[in-house]
Structure 1
Amino acid sequence: MRLEGKVALVSGTAQGHGRAAALRFAAEGALVVAGDPIHQDALDTQRLIARAGGTALAPAPLDVTDEGSVRSWVDEAVGAFGGIDIVYVTTGSVRFGDLGSRPYDNVARTMGVQLNSVWPTVRATWPHLVRSRGCVLTVCPTTGPTASPLPPRAARSASRGSLVALTQQLATEGAPYGVRANCVSSGRPEDAVSAALFLVSDEAADITGANVVVDGAWSCFLPGVTP
């Protein structure tokens, strides 16, 4: 029960990383506030947590790029549980393509959606994290710290790298208040969630500004080579 009594906001809980984190955090004693634009699937995650004996809310459909939607989500969490200790935020969808062939609006969307998936949530939760000396955990694939021609993904790699840089900036600004921020760069949700659990727990009280790569050495290999 490493997160017993902690209030954890988790976005993207309809599937993938968000759902895996919500289930694992609840199993470790956290009070989970789930959110996803696909609200029915977020409610399914809430029900899975309840069946396992955990506690979770899924107040309404969540658009993490909309400040009003995020603010309502945060208000629901604080109203129900009195504060926020953990913010676990996943990023939006991206499109692949090489530098020369992609239209600018396609590139701009990819660049924008990554940071816009994180910024409103962090902004709305920051005062609560300062009060609780809480933490932020962002998640991105290993294209954050690496590049690759297979498939072509210039904008995706740039946006993921920006997310890692933003996480480090949050760590810098949060340090005077005891607020930590870390990133997990990974592929499979079941691999990422164990690292995420450690980073949001008190066991990682001195770790902030880190980008933990959990990919079975994939990012160490030459393009096209499978570990």
Structure 2
Amino acid sequence: MGRLDRKTVLISGSSTGIGRAAALEFAGEGARVVGCGRDPGTAAETVRLVKEAGGEMVALAPVDLADRDGARAWIDFALYEYGRFDVLCNNASSMRNAPFDRLGPDDWHHTIRNELDLVYQCTRAAWPHLVEQGGGVVLNIASISGSRGALFVQQAAHGAAKGGVLALTRHLCGAGAAHGIRVNSISPGLIRTRATAPHIDDPGSGVPALLKKIPAGRVGRPEEVARLAAFLASDDAAYVNGADFVIDGGISAMAG
């Protein structure tokens, strides 16, 4: 018996990185996973990996979750497949970084749209169904950049968007309490994914100096974030609400 048996879990951005790791972890805990992504090929690859591991998963791709109609299409897809859902994990994001004096309006709006507006659109589309069924879980993947300054690269737009996700999490906690909806967030530090690997492996990126400040002595793995997410999505975390969980190897405690 897994801790997510008989639960249906929606994971946005399930094609790669933390989203793919979460799909594998949640399915391994017994959940029926509904993923999505922009690229049909990588979305289908995650579905294949989950099924090969003995799990159950479907995915919708391509879909633009920052668009209201796209977010609704994903929620409707989950309802069509399973009739209901228990957990919404807002993981998908896309950002554009640059030094602030070179951060143009297009970069800013792209990041806010795909890291904050996207969370709003998905949650807004899912909310009436969670209320109607008497509760559920919303889990937002934020970032330590949402509450702290840049560690090795300037991230003004990313930090602002993820700071908004943290604030939205608290307000949704209050909005959902009367309906049995729990809302929490996770703030990862530096995690090795396809997107971050080029920076991590670049000797000139500043990561080697950063590693000296991380008590764990290494960067994190997507699977480690996924295991924390599975706990927060489960009934084992029934009394956890409105909280943010930092998973960064201890750097915030030592240098933040």
Same fold (TM over 0.5): yes
Q: Amino acid of the residue matched to residue 58 of structure 2?
A: L
CA contact (8 A) 2:66 2:113 kept: no
CA contact (8 A) 1:7 1:84 kept: yes
* Number of residue pairs the alignment of both structures matches: 223
Write the distance in 1 (CA, Å) between the matches of 2:139 and 2:151.
28
CA contact (8 A) 2:10 2:89 kept: yes
Matched with 1:11 is: 12
Q: Secondary structure at the match of 1:58?
A: strand
CA contact (8 A) 1:85 1:128 kept: no
Matched with 1:33 is: 34
Write the distance in 2 (CA, Å) between the matches of 1:181 and 1:191.
20
Change (3 A) 1:60 1:18: same
CA contact (8 A) 2:134 2:179 kept: no
Q: Is 2:138 the counterpart of 1:140?
A: no
Deviations 1:93-133 (A, max 9, x none): 21223333322332233233211221111011112222141
Deviations 1:38-63 (A, max 9, x none): 11111111111111211111133221
TM-score w.r.t. structure 2 length? Answer: 0.82
Q: Amino acid of the residue matched to residue 117 of structure 2?
A: N
- Write the mapping of 1:107-146 to structure 2, written as runs, cut at 5 A: 107-130=108-131, 131-146=133-148
Show structure 1 runs of 5+ residues with no match. none
Change (3 A) 1:36 1:132: farther
Q: Amino acid of the residue matched to residue 3 of structure 1?
A: L
Change (3 A) 1:54 1:74: same
Q: Amino acid of the residue matched to residue 110 of structure 1?
A: T
CA contact (8 A) 1:91 1:115 kept: no
Shift of 1:22: 0.7
Q: Is 2:237 the counterpart of 1:204?
A: yes
Q: Is 2:219 the counterpart of 1:217?
A: no
**Percent pairwise identity:** 38
Change (3 A) 1:24 1:222: same
Q: Which residue among 158, 162, 173 is the counterpart of 2:164?
A: 162
Q: Secondary structure at the match of 2:100?
A: coil
- Write the mapping of 1:27-106 to structure 2, written as runs, cut at 5 A: 27-106=28-107
- Write the mapping of 1:168-179 to structure 2, written as runs, cut at 5 A: 168-179=170-181
TM-score w.r.t. structure 1 length? Answer: 0.92
CA contact (8 A) 2:39 2:61 kept: no
Matched with 2:228 is: 195
CA contact (8 A) 1:83 1:132 kept: no
Write the distance in 1 (CA, Å) between the matches of 2:161 and 2:74.
25
Show structure 2 runs of 5+ residues with no match. 192-220
Write the distance in 2 (CA, Å) between the matches of 1:34 and 1:91.
10
Q: After TM superposition, where is structure 1 displaced by more than 6 Å over at least 4 residues in a row?
A: none
Write the distance in 2 (CA, Å) between the matches of 1:189 and 1:19.
8
Q: Amino acid of the residue matched to residue 181 of structure 2?
A: V
CA RMSD of the aligned region, Å? 1.6
CA contact (8 A) 1:39 1:62 kept: no
Q: Secondary structure at the match of 1:118?
A: helix
Mean Cα deviation higher: 133-142 or 53-62: 53-62
